[in-house]
Amino acid sequence: MKIVYFAQISLYKNDGVINKIKNQVDAWLSIGHEVKLIILTSDSNKLLESTALSELNEQGYVKLFRTKSLGLLPIDVLKDWVGLHSTFIEAREHLDSFNPDIVYARYSLYQPFYRRIGERFKLIIEVNTDFESEYFLLRKEGIKRCLRYLYYKCTNSLFLKSVSGIAAVTNELGEKYTSRPTAVFPNSLKVSDYEISSYKPNSNERSMIFLGTPGMAWHGIDILIEMAKILNHVKFHIVGYSSTDLPDVPNNVLLHGFLKKEEYLRFILQSTAAIGTLALSRKNMEEACPLKVREYLACCRPVVLPYKETAFEMKGYPDWVLRVDFEKDGIACVAKGINTFLERCHGFNLRQEDVLQYIDVSEIEKLRLQFFDRVRANRI
């Protein structure tokens, strides 16, 4: 099969998504498929060389097209709407010359570019979140996000008309797209890429790690800080936030700011356990499968999950996963349960072999490719 992976992404501070794309492309190539990764971004080729995609780029599998903006005005997007020559036309010409059986793209805001792809090729979209709820939640945080929400509301129905299939990362998201052939594939990574022998948790210390992003209300950083006040004997390592974002935290909360992958992995490996997103309900969701949790698991860390995790919903929850519900039980009650869990963590002896069936890319991508083949052959 000939597959084009199309991604409109920022290359800066986006390691999780970039690693996922790399792992997917690697898996497809290893099975024998022809793959081309087309990236549209405002970033440069030089920045691409510093990402996990650098090797694929050197091997000729990546083509980057740089988009232009003028302040808040997305020049190339506007040109695409009115039919003028733009970066999107150049990308589509490159795509046409490859003549793929399947075009796979991460869900994005609609523009005519996608309609033109869908008219000629089988276009499958990966849905990673509830975009309507997320954009609605963020709409008051600046004019740009407000305009994005309004644009989404006006154009999203047009996007779906262009699509031949939906690859959702959770069951909950998949249920929102019944008008198109849909399958569920939780997020994954290549477990063998994670070297776990370098660091070990201190058995005499209790600590937790959280990877997050400022401005994302559903990450629930406020809940985590309140819990840290209760569990004041536990160290909380928080990556992604600095003292500028959180100026008043208790002494047991350590803010590390934005870190590169090799830097934050060190903190994961040294922590007793890790915790996922704490307030997913704020964007009207109950289920997720974030990449950061896959990294926790690849590092063999027991995890605390305040939501339904797709991989475990499909295969069951092992004893090294603690499910909690802050809304139902309250922060104090959940903190008590987490404290008990932390006391048990050193006895789990979790190995990478134990997590493969839940998060490893090889198994999940085989199933995704089968879905591609069914969409290509109109067998759905």
pLDDT tens sequence across 177-230? 888 899 999 999 999 989 887 677 777 899 999 999 998 999 999 999 999 999
Query: What is residue 3's predicted lDDT score, i.e. its pLDDT?
Result: 98
Q: Does 216 share its domain with 255?
A: yes
Q: Does 135 share its domain with 156?
A: yes
pLDDT tens sequence across 254-311? 999 999 888 999 999 999 999 999 999 998 889 999 999 999 999 999 999 999 999 9
Confidence grade of residue 380 (pLDDT, cut at 50, 70, 90) = low
Q: Does 161 share its domain with 261?
A: no
Q: Does 350 share its domain with 371?
A: no
Query: What is residue 34's predicted lDDT score, i.e. its pLDDT?
Result: 97
Number of domains, the chain = 2
Q: Does 33 share its domain with 92?
A: yes
DSSP secondary structure string, 324-365? --HHHH-HHHHHHHHHHHHHHHTTS---HHHHHHHHBHHHHH
Q: Does 370 share its domain with 325?
A: no
Average pLDDT, the chain: 92
pLDDT above 70 covers a percentage of the chain that reads: 99
Kindly state the average pLDDT of the residues 112-134.
91
Q: Does 152 share its domain with 67?
A: yes
Confidence grade of residue 4 (pLDDT, cut at 50, 70, 90) = very high
CA–CA gap between residue 260 and residue 141 (Å, rounded): 26
Q: Does 173 share its domain with 281?
A: no
- Name the strand (E) or helix (H) holding 223: helix 221-230
Q: Does 148 share its domain with 213?
A: no
Whether residue 171 is predicted with pLDDT greater than 90 in this model: the reply is yes
Q: Does 104 share its domain with 35?
A: yes
CATH of the domain at 27: 3.40.50.2000
pLDDT tens sequence across 296-344? 999 999 999 999 999 999 999 999 999 999 999 999 999 999 999 999 9
Q: Does 213 share its domain with 165?
A: no
Token pair 């150049």: residue: 90
Whether residue 253 is predicted with pLDDT greater than 90 in this model: the reply is yes
The length of the chain in residues reads: 380
C-alpha torsion angle, residues 324, 329, 333, 338 (rounded to 10): 0
Per the structure, the complete domain to which residue 71 belongs is given by: 2-186+361-376
pLDDT above 90 covers a percentage of the chain that reads: 69
pLDDT tens sequence across 352-367? 999 999 999 988 999 9
- Specify the range with the lowest mean pLDDT, choosing from 53-57, 119-123, 149-153: 149-153
The three state secondary structure string of 9-50 is CCCCCCHHHHHHHHHHHHHHHHHCCEEEEEEEECCCHHHHCC
